[in-house]
Amino acid sequence: MALASNPKALRFIAPKQPGRNFSMNISVSCLPHSKSNLREYEKREKEASLPVEVKLSSPRKDIDFSDPNWKAKFQDDWDKRFRLPHITDILDIKPKPSPFSLKKSRTVPEDLNGDALDTWNGYVNNDDRALLKVIKYASPTSAGAEAECFGPDCSWIEQWVHRAGPRKEIYYEPKEVKAAIVTCGGLCPGLNDVIRQIVFTLDIYGVKNIVGIRFGYRGFFEKGLDEVPLSRKVVENINLAGGSFLGVSRGGGNISEIVDSIQARRIDMLFILGGNGTHAGAQAVHEECRRRKLKVSIIGVPKTIDNDILLMDRTFGFDTAVEEALRAINSAYIEARSAYHGIGLVKLMGRSSGFIAMHASLSSGQIDVCLIPEVPFKVDGPNGLLEHLERLIQDKGFAMICIAEGAGQELLQKSNATDASGNPVLSDSGVFIQQKIKRHFKEIGVPADLKYIDPTYMVRACRANASDAILCTVLGQNAVHGAFAGFSGITSGVCNTHYVYLPIPEVISAPRTVDPNSRMWHRTLTSTGQPDFI
Ligand SMILES: Nc1ncnc2c1ncn2[C@@H]1O[C@H](COP(=O)(O)OP(=O)(O)O)[C@@H](O)[C@H]1O
Ligand SMILES: O=P(O)(O)OC[C@H]1O[C@](O)(COP(=O)(O)O)[C@@H](O)[C@@H]1O
Ligand SMILES: [Mg+2]
């Protein structure tokens, strides 16, 4: 018999025995590796005294599995959902051969007789696809299967998405194109790398009229924010610095006004770098352009340091942010280790997604407790965070905590305030935990030396590391290929290491969050050794 490891609702799972089907679904509020949980588990297992079968809540409530054609229907619907909007949907335009030459950069492959294969061209075919999901789950109880598999038998369904890259035929005359780039939302390492690659690639296609829109969407309507002319020469070295060469901003803007401005400036291609909010704006701009039947390609490049965009392996800048966070964690660790009863506390970004905190905790190997927004925790009382800290101080002499800014918000006073973009302004989780710890150790009369580090803006105000720089390069280049191929309302991403185009609505239907049932979160728990604090 195995124990499913869901921190909120653990289930008893037994192999199915013919003729003895019995199922139960029991909620136990603790993790499997806690002793009391195991005792509870053993007790209830005894009470059940029969083999039990897991009863999963159907992971796909949107599908009627009793319909014999559900698979075909799902796949049909999938293809429609992931179809890329194209300017020929609204305008009758004929394509022309792409000037983006691939043959010059390599020898054309030869066949077995040594003759050049004329059919080779190195372009991506519009019918090329990449698989979004690559795991075939044997059972709905397999780790990670609950949210991924289809139906009671955990069927395999191919979920294809469009491959990104240069097409053989293009829908714009490069010499006539005016292309614009805008960076919105907060900063993120790699913005300049993406701007630079977009300009380089446009230049190779033969586009001469390239401009930057300053300070996000604001640059479309605020007086005095003139366009910045961009060229290979202008952007040559911008990747050496962090930030955005064009400036960023949150808030403001009315979609109709932005599209008026796009029309007035005669922009044909708009590359929009930003997160969930920015992409919601990009989608609205794309729809308004369609409504007005404009020949404009709106292409997104996902920028989010929180890594909270759906379907992608990761977004650019995230890797760099984690690496920067490690510096803060290491400093806190040195302080904590060197102090008598030292406690190191590091707060990292992550409004609603704990990816930075989770990855930084995992990669540092120095964290005893990782707290993220997706996993509720208790601070006081039995099984609470403070009790665990007491134990750590007693057993190893010091303790290290990494907390995401959005963690434990339910414990804090809500301000109901929002920023200019409408994002909630959160209460400071780091300061809250810092005060709780200080007060607690004072109250119990145990000396504790707490050092709190908040490197929030340091992790994003830096230049991209090597792996992010490559990701930015590919995403930036693919954005331009997507625009020339005539797509609009799409974004450029990486899925299962393959570069793809995705329709914007599919990636912003919800923020991507850490799944507390995922192998990655369980690996983090294994690494930190923390119990669940409930
Ligand atoms: N739902 C939305 N529709 C249109 N524009 C939006 C929407 N949400 C945010 N925006 C605009 O997108 C820009 C960036 O949004 P923000 O949430 O601050 O950052 P991010 O794109 O990183 O999520 C802002 O200028 C904001 O006004
Ligand atoms: O102080 P600012 O500039 O509003 O930015 C802080 C916020 O930006 C975020 O990094 C989110 O921005 P991203 O779009 O890059 O994911 C949050 O984690 C953080 O709360
Ligand atoms: Mg956002």
Check residue 214 and give its pLDDT.
98
Could you tell me which residues are annotated as the binding site for Mg(2+)? 276
Ligand 2 centroid to residue 292 C-alpha, Å:
33
344 with 389: CB under 8 angstroms? no
For ligand 2, atom 16, the nearest C-alpha belongs to: 304
What average pLDDT does the segment 211-226 reach? 96
Task: Encode pLDDT of 320-370 as tens digits.
Answer: 999 999 999 999 999 999 999 999 999 999 999 999 999 999 999 999 999
314 lines ligand 1 (CB under 6 A): no
Report the separation in Å between the CA atom of 186 and the middle of ligand 2, taken as the mean of its atom positions: 5
CA of 278 to the centre of ligand 1 (A): 4
Annotated binding site for ATP: 186, 250-251, 275-278
Torsion of CA 296, 298, 299, 304, to 10 degrees: 160
- DSSP-derived 3-state class of residue 87: helix
Q: How confident is the model at residue 32 (pLDDT cuts 50, 70, 90)?
A: very low
CB 44 within 8 A of CB 66: no
Does residue 12 surpass a pLDDT of 60? Answer: no
CA 429 to chain centre: 22
Helices 519-528 and 355-364, interaxial angle, to 10°? 50
Give the list of residues 6+ apart from residue 177 with CB closer than 8 angstroms, or none.
202, 205, 207, 209, 268, 269
pLDDT band at 155 (very low <50, low <70, confident <90, very high): confident
Question: Above 70 in pLDDT, residue 17?
Answer: no
Surface-to-core class of residue 122, CB atoms within 10 Å of its CB (0-12 exposed, 13-18 middle, 19+ buried): middle
For 47-80, what is each residue's pLDDT tens digit? 433 333 334 444 577 788 888 899 899 999 999 9
- Largest Cα–Cα distance of the chain, in whole Å? 85
For the ranges 65-69, 187-191, 214-218, the lowest mean pLDDT is seen at: 65-69
Residue 119 has pLDDT above 90, yes or no: no
- Whole-number Cα distances in Å, 156 to 131, 225, 309: 12, 52, 24
As a whole number, mean pLDDT of residues 264-276 equals 97
Q: What does the DSSP assignment read for 139-202?
A: STTSTTTTTT-BTTTTB----EEEEPS--SEESS-GGG-EEEEEE-SS--TTHHHHHHHHHHHH
pTM score of the predicted model: 0.88
- Which residues, at least 6 apart from 339, have a Cβ–Cβ distance to it below 8 Å? 398, 449, 451
Question: How many residues are recorded in the chain?
Answer: 534
- Determine the average pLDDT of the residues in 295-304: 97
Mean pLDDT, to the nearest integer, of 499-514?
A: 97
Whether 443 has a pLDDT exceeding 80, the answer reads yes
Atom of ligand 1 nearest to the CA of 216: 25
Which has the closest alpha carbon to 93: 482, 477, 484, 480? 484
Q: What is the pLDDT of residue 154?
A: 87
Please work out, in degrees rounded to the nearest 5, the angle formed at the alpha carbon of residue 370 by the alpha carbons of 368 and 372.
Answer: 170
Q: Looking at the predicted structure, is the pLDDT value of residue 26 above 80? A: no
Cβ 219 under 6 angstroms from ligand 1 = no
**What residues are annotated to the active site?**
306
For residue 251, give the ligand 1 atom closest to its CA.
27
Write the residue with the smallest CA distance to atom 1 of ligand 1: 280
pLDDT at 474: 98
Ligand 1 in reach of 302 Cβ (< 6 A):
no
Assess whether pLDDT exceeds 70 at residue 253. Answer: yes
- Could you tell me the pLDDT band of residue 109, with boundaries at 50, 70 and 90? low
283 CA → ligand 2 middle, Å: 21
Going by the annotation, the residues of the binding site for substrate are 304-306, 349-351, 405, 457-460
The chain-wide mean pLDDT, for the chain, equals 87
Q: How far apart are CA 448 and CA 434, in angstroms?
A: 11
Q: What is the average pLDDT across 207-214?
A: 98
CA distances from 101 to 97, 122, 207, 316 (A): 10, 9, 14, 27
| Lowest mean pLDDT, pick from 23-32, 253-262, 519-528 | 23-32
| pLDDT at 316 exceeding the cut of 50 | yes
What's the rounded mean pLDDT across residues 229-251? 97
| 416: its two tokens | 């109901």
- Residues 512-527 have a mean pLDDT of 95
| Cβ–Cβ under 8 Å, residues 212 and 228 | yes
Q: Give the containing element (helix H, strand E) for 12.
A: strand 12-13
Q: Which helix (H) or strand (E) holds 137?
A: none
Q: Which of 184, 214, 225, 283 to mutate to test the pocket of ligand 1 (most atoms within 8 A of CB)?
A: 184
The pLDDT value recorded for residue 143 is: 84
456-467 residue pLDDT tens: 999 999 999 999
Q: Which residues surround ligand 3, an ion (CB under 5 A)?
A: 275-277
Confidence of residue 416 (pLDDT cuts 50, 70, 90): confident
Tokens read off for 372: 């993220």
CB atoms within 10 A of CB 55: 13
The yes-or-no verdict on residue 24 having pLDDT over 70 is no
Which of the listed residues 218, 351, 454, 514 should we mutate to test ligand 2's pocket, taking the one with most ligand atoms within 8 A of CB?
351
141: pLDDT strictly greater than 90: no
> In the predicted model, is pLDDT for residue 3 greater than 80?
no
Q: Quick check: 427 pLDDT over 70?
A: yes
Ligand 1 nearest atom to the CA of residue 218, by list position: 25
pLDDT of residue 112: 63
Q: What does the pLDDT read at residue 145?
A: 83
pLDDT of 201 reads: 98
Question: Over the stretch 447-458, which tens digit does the pLDDT of each residue have?
Answer: 999 999 999 999
pLDDT of residue 266: 98
Confidence of residue 111 (pLDDT cuts 50, 70, 90): low
Task: Please tell me the distance between residue 507's alpha carbon and the centre of ligand 1 in angstroms.
Answer: 14
Q: How far is the CA of 355 from the centre of ligand 1 (A)?
A: 21
Residues within a 6 A CB radius of ligand 2: 185-186, 188, 275, 304-306, 308, 349-351, 405, 419
Nearest CA, atom 8, ligand 1:
277
3-state secondary structure of 310: coil
Give the pLDDT band of residue 144 (cuts 50, 70, 90): confident
Q: Quick one: tokens of 444?
A: 């119990």
pLDDT for the residue numbered 122: 84
* Residue with CA closest to ligand 1 atom 20: 275
Q: Is 47 exposed, middle or buried (0-12, 13-18, 19+ CB in 10 A)?
A: exposed
Q: Tell me the three-class secondary structure of 420-461, residue by residue.
A: CCCCECCCCHHHHHHHHHHHHHHHCCCCCEEEEECCCCCCCC
Across 116-136, average pLDDT:
85
**How many CA atoms lie less than 13 Å away from 314 in the CB half-sphere?**
17
